[in-house]
């Protein structure tokens, strides 16, 4: 059996790392982020830019290929917010609960009362950067709606209020690991795994 590609995980979020490890099990050997590495300032204008910032920084620090992701929740009634600012929607030190509370408040403020008014999507960009500067990226998206209140104790971030269209009415927070089958991050990681397989038989694209 050939050796699995070894990638250093750029994320400092243990919840994201756990999801990535689960989806990529048997496909990629995920190595831990270098200890003592400072947080990367995520000040790009889009998800791809932030993913690149993190992967480049961790690749440079460890001298090895690094994998990163950035995810945004885009709510139509809020003109696509929180989007690229999803992790910091309620402030730089906001907790998951703080962000959820702010999002629900903003939807109430604009009068988004029905499921049709509360459509949204999760979008993830996953990227690998190699020490020679080449990179490979993939995206995953899932459509859904924002629930009126949190449902379920599983997942993290906005999972408790995101109800995927392709599901059975449960929020991601109620699905547990089932969500990876249809989730934005699961889709992005599987697409990346396919791209890595293709890259192994041809030149990587920079």
Which residue is catalytic, options 43, 69, 70, 98? 70
* 69 is an active site residue: no
Q: How far apart (Å, rounded) are the C-alpha atoms in residues 60 and 8? A: 11
In order, the DSSP letters of 52-116 are HHHHHHHHHHHTS-EEEEEEEEEEGGGTT-EETTGGGTT-TT--HHHHHHHHHHHHHHTT--SGG
Q: How far apart (Å, rounded) are the C-alpha atoms in residues 206 and 29? A: 22
Query: For residue 167, what are its two tokens?
Result: 């599901």
Pairing of strands 119-129, 66-75: antiparallel
Going by the DSSP 8-state scheme, the letter that residue 196 receives in this structure is H
Residues 6+ apart with CB under 8 A from 87: 42, 94, 99, 157
**152 with 99: CB under 8 angstroms?**
no
Question: Which residues are annotated as catalytic?
Answer: 70
């Amino acid at each position: 059996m050939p050796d699995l590609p070894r990638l250093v995980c750029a994320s400092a979020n243990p919840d994201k790392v756990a999801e990535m490890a689960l989806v990529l099990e048997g496909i990629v050997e995920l190595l831990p982020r270098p200890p003592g590495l400072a947080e990367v300032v995520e000040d790009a204008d889009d998800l791809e830019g932030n993913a690149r910032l993190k992967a480049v920084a961790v690749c440079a620090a460890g001298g090895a290929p690094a994998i990163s992701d950035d995810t945004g929740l885009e709510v139509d009634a809020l003109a696509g917010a929180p989007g690229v600012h999803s992790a910091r929607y309620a402030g730089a030190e906001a907790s998951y609960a703080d962000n959820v509370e702010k999002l629900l408040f903003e939807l109430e403020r604009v009068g988004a009362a029905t499921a049709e008014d509360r459509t949204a999507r999760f979008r993830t960009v996953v990227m690998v950067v190699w020490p020679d500067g080449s990179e490979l990226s993939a995206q995953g998206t899932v459509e859904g709606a924002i629930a009126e209140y949190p449902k379920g104790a599983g997942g993290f971030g906005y999972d408790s209020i995101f109800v995927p269209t392709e599901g059975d009415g449960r929020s991601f927070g109620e699905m547990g690991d089932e969500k990876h089958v249809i989730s934005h991050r699961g889709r992005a990681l599987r697409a990346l795994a396919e791209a890595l397989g293709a890259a192994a038989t041809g030149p990587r694209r920079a």
